[in-house]
Amino acid sequence: MYWQKDIETVPREDLEKLQLERLRRTVEIASRSPFYGQRFREAGFRPQSLKSLDDLRRIPFTTKEDLRSGFPYRFLCVDLDRCVRLHSSSGTTGRITVIFHTRKDIDSWTELLSRSMYAAGMRTSDVFQNMMSYGLFTGGLGFHYGAERLGALVLPTAAGNSKRQIFFMKNLGTTVIHIIPSYALSLLNTFADESVDPKEDGKLRIAFLGAEPHSEATRRKVEEAYGLDAFNSYGLSEMNGPGVAFECTEKAGMHVWEDAYILEVIDPATGEPVPDGEEGELVFTSLTREGMPLLRYRSRDLASVYPEPCPCGRTHRRISRIKGRVDDMFVIKGVNVFPIQVETALMEIPEVGNNFVIVLERTDRGDQMMVKVEVNPSSFNGDVRSLTDLQERIRRRLRSEILVTPKVELLEPRSLPATEGKAVRVRDNREL
Ligand code: ADP
Ligand code: ZN
């Protein structure tokens, strides 16, 4: 049940020893980059003075802004000669940043992904369809390498072209898929068009859902519609990409691979650590990278640590679902709202369909929040205006979740544009 039993079940004490050893090496490597060289000098930090894991806190945080200002080479610690690949963040929140990888970096990242997929139950006999965009985005190539090394048959179908996805799935007997959760839901529309039931042949057994926040209700919806077990997969390109944290078969939080990353959880406002179990911003330090290690990188992602040991025997700590990025939050009528709260409320209502969007407008009577919701095809009777009872139920359910009463507009199935990449859940028109 383990890919690398020794390291996955290593006693915490030994894990921390390994972390310290790797951290010292990482800090030494990092000091060779122009960026960290200067950072360390300014902060009066000497790499040799790092004696314990706690000493990490003497190093300042690294931010997305730092990466932007260091574009493209200021973080590089080795000759460009030794780099074999470049990846980039998808640019969801601004200017592009890049990460360089040496052969060794790619190798250790690949191991983390094989380990993750194995932990969720994938084996050599599986047919793995990777429905993530290939290219600068890390989701495609990252999983691709990991799945090949695990020994599965990989179908690199990449994102989009829904009909072809279904064609391959059904004709090649796909058993495992990797897919963005919002795309998993919208792909159901194409399944319906093709009169194909994703679960009818009983081949599909595992889905890896990642790259965007999604609720437990969405997981269940995907599991039921596709007839499989879905596992949450978390990563960010600054920390290689996917394979930072991954669910085991317990499906109760994601193990952070702590032999490769040091995790800190901080209060985003003060930068101070928060106690286990409390929500905060995830901060990561890479431990196995030589091309471009990052120290105390502020992910902007919000989650909490589950300190209890996992029944699976892995000793690496788990984190909760990601609530979203700090900057995903919007304020409406003085209340802070995360899109995931809206998703959670909506996906629990069976008559709700596969897509929704939140629209924020400025009016004479103050700011308005409108939630446009597609109706489930099986609940659609030809006229959404007749579904006033459903509309009222959605409004009440949203109010109890977010403490603001939004306007709710019901839409016919598949009237909202489906995205192949990360879903954009909020249209904020207030500054227009
Ligand atoms: P970008 O930051 O431009 O979106 P990335 O491709 O590096 O580029 O995306 C990483 C981000 O995607 C994470 O920081 C997080 O916000 C989000 N993400 C990735 N996996 C998950 C997941 N399983 N749950 C929630 N959010 C996720
Ligand atoms: Zn576990």
Residue with CA nearest ligand 1 atom 12: 211
| pTM (two decimals) | 0.97
pLDDT attached to residue 418 = 85
- 231 close to ligand 1 (CB < 6 Angstrom): no
Tokens at 315, concatenated: 């000793």
In the predicted model, what is the mean pLDDT of the chain?
96
Q: Is the pLDDT of residue 375 over 80?
A: yes
List, in sequence order, the alpha helices (H) in 272-338: none
Q: Is the pLDDT of residue 431 over 90?
A: no
CA atoms of 102 and 270, how far apart (whole Å): 35
Strand duo 153-155 + 330-332: pairing: unpaired
Averaged pLDDT for residues 278-287: 98
Split at pLDDT 50, 70, 90, the class of 190 is very high
pLDDT attached to residue 410 = 98
CA atoms of 236 and 93, how far apart (whole Å): 13
Chain segment 94-120, per-residue pLDDT in tens: 788 999 999 999 999 999 999 999 999
Split at pLDDT 50, 70, 90, the class of 394 is very high
- 243 close to ligand 1 (CB < 6 Angstrom): no
CA atoms of 140 and 85, how far apart (whole Å): 14
Rg for the chain, CA atoms, rounded = 22
How many DSSP H helices and E strands does the chain contain? 11, 21
Q: Is the pLDDT of residue 384 over 90?
A: yes
Query: Ligand 2: distance of its center to the CA of 354 in Å?
Result: 30
pLDDT attached to residue 264 = 98
CA angle at residue 371 from 366 to 373, to 5 degrees? 160
- 211 close to ligand 1 (CB < 6 Angstrom): yes
CA atoms of 246 and 304, how far apart (whole Å): 14
Q: Is the pLDDT of residue 65 over 90?
A: yes
- pLDDT > 90 fraction of the chain, expressed in percent and rounded: 96
Q: Is the pLDDT of residue 51 over 80?
A: yes
pLDDT attached to residue 421 = 87
**Contact (Cβ atoms closer than 8 angstroms) between residue 316 and residue 257:** yes
- Say which range, 83-97, 142-156, 162-176, 195-209, has the weakest mean pLDDT: 83-97
Averaged pLDDT for residues 122-143: 97
pLDDT attached to residue 89 = 84
- 3 close to ligand 1 (CB < 6 Angstrom): no
CA torsion sign for 328, 331, 332, 338 is: positive
| Ligand 1 atom with minimal separation from the 325 CA | 16
Query: Ligand 1: distance of its center to the CA of 405 in Å?
Result: 29
Averaged pLDDT for residues 363-389: 94
